[in-house]
Amino acid sequence: MASADSGTALQVELVAADRTVWSGEATMVIARTTEGDVGVLRGHAPLLSLLVDAVVEIATTDGEVVVAAVDGGFLSVAGDRISILSERAVLSHEIDVNAARTELEVAGGLADASESEARIRRAEARIRAVERAS
């Protein structure tokens, strides 16, 4: 698939608290918000939404799909610019799936139910990101 010029592409930035995780041009972004999954294409209405611990998929103009796990955050769409801001965001190829599975097991045994639930959601998101990328 030929690369699109910047006039026909979305400008996307996936940013964690400590770094820019991914930045580039895309044709589509899919993210899970508190209201459900949102798909963003060119010309999308302005949007500001809360993200949940989940997977974000970015279809690049080169025909690749970038998959990342985010620990909540915000999705902002203005014009054809998308910003995904999260405390922690990890690309699928950076995830240690065995560590995520171990975290899932440990989190299930925690006495603090709300902490257990949050850690389970984060571990499950990381595992799903790896599975979707493969």
Q: 77, exposed or middle or buried, with CB in 10 Å at 0-12, 13-18, 19+?
A: buried
pLDDT tens string 52-97: 999 999 999 999 999 999 999 999 999 999 999 999 999 999 999 9
For the cut 80, the answer to whether the pLDDT of residue 21 exceeds it is yes
- Tell me 5's DSSP state: P
Per domain, the residue ranges of the chain are 6-91, 93-133
Tell me what pLDDT residue 2 has.
41
Q: For domain 6-91, give the CATH number.
A: 2.60.15.10
Q: How many Cβ atoms are within 10 Å of 122's Cβ, its own excluded?
A: 22
The stretch 23-48 carries a mean pLDDT of: 97
Tell me what pLDDT residue 1 has.
37
For the cut 70, the answer to whether the pLDDT of residue 5 exceeds it is no
Alpha helix ranges (H) inside 10-112: 97-108
Q: How many Cβ atoms are within 10 Å of 99's Cβ, its own excluded?
A: 11
- Tell me 80's DSSP state: T
